[in-house]
A and B are shown apart, each in its own frame.
Chain A
């Protein structure tokens, strides 16, 4: 059973629907006992760092998620759920879960590409990922595949070795991280067509160990 963590952070049903289409058995839950028993954990979400962290703490889920990671349970972060596993977010100046060393910072206000053209924030739409690892969760994804992004803040892991993939938006930012049993992506695999579903399928088949030392 896969637990999709419910912490009042936006649309969780799209993750559930994508997993259902892959034949996976999953449930949206905020019940610490259920999450502790689940084989896998997915932390999805759209939302804000301040209110997201407040919800996680209020529900006691910060502890539950730390425990899931300590147990080596396969753990997938998606979009805002990825940002909130870091130590700190500039959004609402928030101390986050601290499961991934690093911080989350905003794209510059006057963001431009190398040619000087203005770039919109949020970074919204389809963009590619340049994979830096042979990690099993990111295996078999075509190089030309694109994924659906929507975010104004981006990941800054403390250690280059944690970076599993990068994406070009004015500069190369970190769009995927991996560390032990934890993998996390900035885009929405559940909204990214076939390549996104392939990534979710990979996650469902992953034991949380293989590839953990590939980085």
Chain B
């Protein structure tokens, strides 16, 4: 039976690794290529790279990182951040990424999802969603709203509607990030994750809030997530991927144990 995936997320700025806490005060913690190889050997099931470099000129630096990663690890990884059109996507896929992820670009121009799916196949296109809990209203009936710019800009779009719309447009997977939970290390946003995952047929990666193995066990069972994103939990060495997987296996969650 399909294993639940553990996916370390590596934020990259100017070719170097960072980890944002609530999207503020980023600090450099190393070389993304070395970190990717470390996680590959440690049993991570997939990797996510977010290029948080603001300038478009730095795109080539990221492509070089992608190429070097692809030579060293033989498992899937996705790249997101700053991809604005099909040509940007193509460059990243040709450099060796398995998937590309779009977030604010898709909110502004949903067609980018269908264009990417048409050009490269739905399995390549991950929709990243940044979501904030808000009061239920006629505009936001689920009580979860899509935000961009790290939560600073409300889009007036209902998160559940957007997830289903993205699936209709051809997204192959959703990476669901709770801005409320992100950086807290107090657990994933369970209600949001279960809501979205049970209303789409494509896989959902839970993101934001992981602080200990119990949080992953929760979100991969009651939360109905298909995969869980982690960052600081393992980046700073507090936990290992293998240790998290042992915990999950003990809790009856099916994980990949041979690598």
Which residues of A does B touch, CB under 8 Å? 10-11, 13-14, 17-18, 21, 46-48, 80, 109, 113, 118-128, 142, 144-146, 148-152, 168-169, 188, 190-197
Interface string of B1-19 (1 = CB under 8 A from A): 1111100000000000000
Residues of B within 8 A of A113 (CB): 1
Known contacts A121-B201, A146-B258; A191 and B74 CB within 8 A of each other: yes
Cβ–Cβ contact A10 & B124, under 8 A: yes
Among B4, B45, B76, B173, max chain A CB count under 10 A is at: B76
A-B contact count (CB 8 A): 104
Across the interface, B123 reaches (CB within 8 A) one of A18, A46, A126, A196, namely: A46
Give bound CA distance, A169 to B254, whole Å: 13
Across the interface, A169 reaches (CB within 8 A) one of B1, B96, B123, B226, namely: B1
Cβ–Cβ contact B3 & A127, under 8 A: yes
Cβ–Cβ contact A145 & B124, under 8 A: no
**Beta-carbon contacts under 8 Å, B165-201 to A:** 172-173, 198, 201
B257 lies within 8 A of chain A by Cβ? yes
Known contacts A122-B172, A144-B257; A14 and B202 CB within 8 A of each other: no
Q: List 20 A-B contacts (CB under 8 A).
A: A10-B93, A13-B96, A17-B74, A17-B96, A18-B74, A46-B121, A47-B121, A118-B198, A121-B201, A124-B203, A125-B46, A126-B45, A127-B1, A127-B3, A144-B257, A145-B258, A146-B256, A148-B76, A150-B172, A151-B123
Cβ–Cβ contact A126 & B202, under 8 A: no
**Beta-carbon contacts under 8 Å, B29-70 to A:** 40, 45-46, 70
A sample of 18 more A-B contacts (CB under 8 A), given A80-B121, A125-B226, A192-B74, is: A10-B93, A10-B121, A11-B93, A14-B96, A14-B98, A17-B71, A118-B201, A122-B172, A124-B172, A124-B173, A125-B45, A125-B227, A126-B5, A146-B3, A150-B123, A150-B172, A192-B75, A193-B40
Give bound CA distance, A142 to B98, whole Å: 25
If over half of B's interface residues share one DSSP class (helix, strand or loop), that class is named, otherwise mixed; here it is: loop
B67 nearest CB across to chain A (Å) = 9
If over half of A's interface residues share one DSSP class (helix, strand or loop), that class is named, otherwise mixed; here it is: mixed
Known contacts A46-B124, A124-B173, A124-B203; A21 and B94 CB within 8 A of each other: no
Give bound CA distance, A152 to B94, whole Å: 23
Residues of B within 8 A of A196 (CB): 74
A63 nearest CB across to chain B (Å) = 25
Cβ–Cβ contact B5 & A122, under 8 A: no
Cβ–Cβ contact B75 & A193, under 8 A: yes
Give bound CA distance, A82 to B71, whole Å: 24
B236 lies within 8 A of chain A by Cβ? no
What residue of chain A has the Cβ atom nearest to residue B202's Cβ? A120
